Amino acid sequence: MKILSAEQIRAADAFTIEKEGIQSDELMERAGSAIFGWLNSQLNGSPVTLHIFCGTGNNGGDGLVVARHLLEHGYQIQVYIVNYSDKRSADFLINLDRLKDRKVWPEVIKEESALPVIPEGDIVLDAIFGTGLNREPEPWVCKLMQSLNKSKALVVSIDVPSGMFLERHSDPKQVVHAHYVLTFQHPKLPFFLPSSGRFCEQWVALDIGLHQEFIDSLDTAYELIGFREVRPLYRFRKKFSHKGTYGHALIVGGSHGKMGAVILSSEACLRSGSGLVTAFVPGCGYNPLQSALPEVMVMTGKDESELTEIRMPFTPSAVGIGMGMGTSKASIAAFRAFLESNTSPLVVDADGLNAISKDRSLLKLMPPGTVLTPHPGELERLIGPWKDDFEKLEMARKFVGEHHCLLVIKGAHTMVVSGTKGYVNSTGNPGMATAGSGDVLTGVITGLLSQGYLPEEAALMGVYIHGRAGDLCLDSQSMESSIASDITAHIGAAFREFYTEDSDEKEREVRE
C-alpha cells in the first residue's frame, strides 16, 4: 500500500473532488461519516461522553462532521474549537453552521482560556491539526495537547495525531499521544518510525473513496508491504524441478561460542527453499553443525576457533555472511579475501557489517545488489549518527545510492531501502526481539536469493516471511517465550499462506 506525502494527499483529495464533480464539503462529509461509522461500531450507543477538539482547518471540519453524527445518534458530546488561528477553512465554517443549526455551540479555547477538565473514562476526539500542519504549534496549543495526553481519557485522533509532521521530526511535547488513529485511506510514514510510532498505538485506515487511478499513478517514496504486495512475488515450485533448480547457498560465519548463529541461519536458509546449503565455519563448528542439521553440508577453515580463511570450492547461488564471525584482524582479512573473489548474490549481517564499518574500503568489493541487514546500532556504525528518523532515512537512501546495495533496517517495522524507495514491513511483533532472530532473517533472505529471487524481491519477501513466521509463533508461544528457532519452525506456515485455498480469502481481507 502506498504511503503518500502531505502534498500527494492534497493532490489526491483535489483530483477526487474535481473528477467526481463533488463539492469539497462532500468529501469532508464522507471522511467524517467514515470516522463516525468506526466509532459507532465500537461504542455501540454507549453513554460515554466524547470531547471533540477541533482546529480551524479541515481536520477540525472533520471533527465537526463527526460531532454532528454523534449527536444525531444520541451520543453525549462536548465540542471545543481550538482557536489557534483566525482563519477558518470554508468547509470548517459550513460544518460549524450545520452544528449550530442543531443548537450546539462549541466552547472556544483561546490562549487565555482555562484548560478543559476531561473526566477519566471519557473519550477525546483529536481533530486539532491534520496533514496541513506546516509549523510548530504555539506554546499554549502544546499545553492543551499535553493536558489531553495527561488525561486518563481514551484518545482517538482523526487522520493523524495532532502536531505530527508527516515529513519531518515532531517534538514529543508538541504531539497528541493517540491510543487510536483513524486515518484516511492510507497510513502515514511517521506511524512506522520508532520516534513517532509510539504516538499512534494503533491505526485504522478508513476508505473515503479517493480516486484509485490517481493514487495508482503516484510515485511514492514509501510503501507499506503486506500480503497483497508480497504474494505476487512468490514463485510457485515447478513439477519438473530438482534440488539444483533452487540453488546451493553458502552460509559463512561462526566463532568459538557463537556457532548457534550459523546453525540458525543455515536452517532458515534451507527452510526458505534453497536446494542445498553448505556452511563454512571454523573447526570447532564441525560437530555442532553436523549434529544439529543433518541436511546441511559443512566445510571448515584451518583455525579451530575463528575464521581465518573462506574457501569456496563451488560457486554458490547466494552467500549469507557475518553471523557470529567476530571482527578479529584475521577474520576481517578472510572476509576481504572472500569479497575479492566472490561474485554471487550476497547478504551481509552482524560482524560482516561491523567489519565494513571498521574498513569501509570493503564496500567497493561487494557485488551490486548486496543486501545489508543492520540493526540500529550496526546501521549507525555504517552510515554515521543521525539527529532523527527522517535524517536517518535520507542518509540510508544516500548510502544505498552510493554503494549500489540494499539496506534492511531492522526494527519494529523493518524498512527495506532499495534504490530511491523505502518499503515498510507490516508483519512481526515484539516477541521477535530475541537472540538469533536476525540470524534467521539472514538465512531466509539468502535462501530466497539462492532460488533466483532478485535482491529487492528477496529482501521484501524475506522480511515479510520472517515477521509472519514470528506472528504465527504466537499461536503456541507468547511474546516472551518465542525464540529464534520457533520463528524458523513457522517459516513453512508463512509460505503456505501464499498458495493454500484461503490465500485468496486472505488477500480479500487485507484489501477490505
Q: Is 303 a residue that touches ligand NAX (CB under 6 A)?
A: no
Q: Is 28 a residue that touches ligand NAX (CB under 6 A)?
A: yes
Count, in order, helices (H) and strands (E) of the chain: 19, 18
Q: Is 451 a residue that touches ligand NAX (CB under 6 A)?
A: no
In this structure, which amino acid lies at residue 139?
A: P
Q: Is 86 a residue that touches ligand NAX (CB under 6 A)?
A: no
Q: Is 252 exposed, middle or buried (0-12, 13-18, 19+ CB in 10 A)?
A: buried
C-beta of 55: minimal distance to ligand NAX in Å? 5
Return the axis-axis angle of helices 58-72 and 90-101, rounded to nearest 10°.
Answer: 20
Unique residue bearing C-alpha cell 453513554: 47
Angle 267-273-276 from CA coordinates, rounded to 5°: 70
For residues 63 and 162, the answer to whether their CB atoms sit within 8 Å is: no
Residues 168-227 that bind ligand NAX (CB under 6 A): 184
C-beta of 130: minimal distance to ligand NAX in Å? 2
Q: Is 57 a residue that touches ligand NAX (CB under 6 A)?
A: yes
Residue 162 interacting partner from K ion, ligand NAX, none (CB closer than 5 to 8 Å by kind): K ion
Binding-site positions read: 58-62, 126, 130-136, 159, 162, 261, 324, 375, 410-414, 438-439
- Closest residue by beta carbon to K ion: 162
C-beta of 83: minimal distance to ligand NAX in Å? 10
Binding-site positions for (6S)-NADPHX read: 58-62, 130-136, 159, 261, 324, 375, 439
Strands (E), 352-502: 371-372, 406-409, 415-418, 421-425
Count of residues that interact with ligand NAX, criterion CB under 6 A: 26
Q: CA 178, CA 318: separation in Å to the nearest integer?
A: 44
3-state secondary structure of 498: coil
Sites of contact with K ion (CB under 5 A): 126, 157-158, 162
3-state secondary structure of 95: helix
Q: Is 498 a residue that touches ligand NAX (CB under 6 A)?
A: no
Q: Which stretch binds ligand NAX (CB under 6 A): 56-64, 298-306, 317-325, 416-424?
A: 56-64
C-beta of 474: minimal distance to K ion in Å? 32
Residue 13 interacting partner from ligand NAX, K ion, none (CB closer than 5 to 8 Å by kind): ligand NAX
C-beta of 78: minimal distance to ligand NAX in Å? 20
Q: CA 144, CA 90: separation in Å to the nearest integer?
A: 25
Q: 113, 123, 79, 126: which is closest to 98 by C-alpha?
A: 79
Binding-site positions for AMP read: 410-414, 438
C-beta of 93: minimal distance to ligand NAX in Å? 12
Q: Is 39 a residue that touches ligand NAX (CB under 6 A)?
A: no
Q: Is 133 a residue that touches ligand NAX (CB under 6 A)?
A: yes
Whole-number Cα distances in Å, 75 to 83, 152, 314, 318: 24, 20, 72, 61
Q: Decide whether 84 or 390 has the Cβ nearer to ligand NAX.
A: 84
Q: CA 321, CA 250: separation in Å to the nearest integer?
A: 8
The separation between CA 214 and the C-alpha centre of its own chain, rounded to angstroms, equals: 24
Of 13, 303, 306, 497, the residue at the interface with ligand NAX (CB under 6 A) is: 13
Cell of 288: 555442532
Residue 27 interacting partner from K ion, ligand NAX, none (CB closer than 5 to 8 Å by kind): ligand NAX
In the chain, helix, strand, coil percent, each to 5?
45, 15, 40
Of 1, 54, 64, 89, the residue at the interface with ligand NAX (CB under 6 A) is: 89
C-beta of 316: minimal distance to ligand NAX in Å? 50
Residues 136-155 that bind ligand NAX (CB under 6 A): 136-137
Q: Which stretch binds ligand NAX (CB under 6 A): 55-63, 314-322, 339-347, 364-372?
A: 55-63
Q: Is 239 a residue that touches ligand NAX (CB under 6 A)?
A: no
Give me the helices (H) in 125-193, please: 139-150
For residues 428 and 412, the answer to whether their CB atoms sit within 8 Å is: yes
Residue 57 interacting partner from ligand NAX, K ion, none (CB closer than 5 to 8 Å by kind): ligand NAX
Cell of 390: 527522517
Q: CA 498, CA 507: separation in Å to the nearest integer?
A: 10
Q: Is 132 a residue that touches ligand NAX (CB under 6 A)?
A: yes
Strands 200-206, 123-127: pairing is unpaired
Q: 68, 78, 76, 84: which is closest to 145 by C-alpha?
A: 84
Q: Decide whether 89 or 331 has the Cβ nearer to ligand NAX.
A: 89
- Which residues of this protein are in contact with ligand NAX, per CB under 6 A? 13, 24, 27-28, 31, 55, 57-60, 62, 84-85, 89, 129-137, 158-159, 184
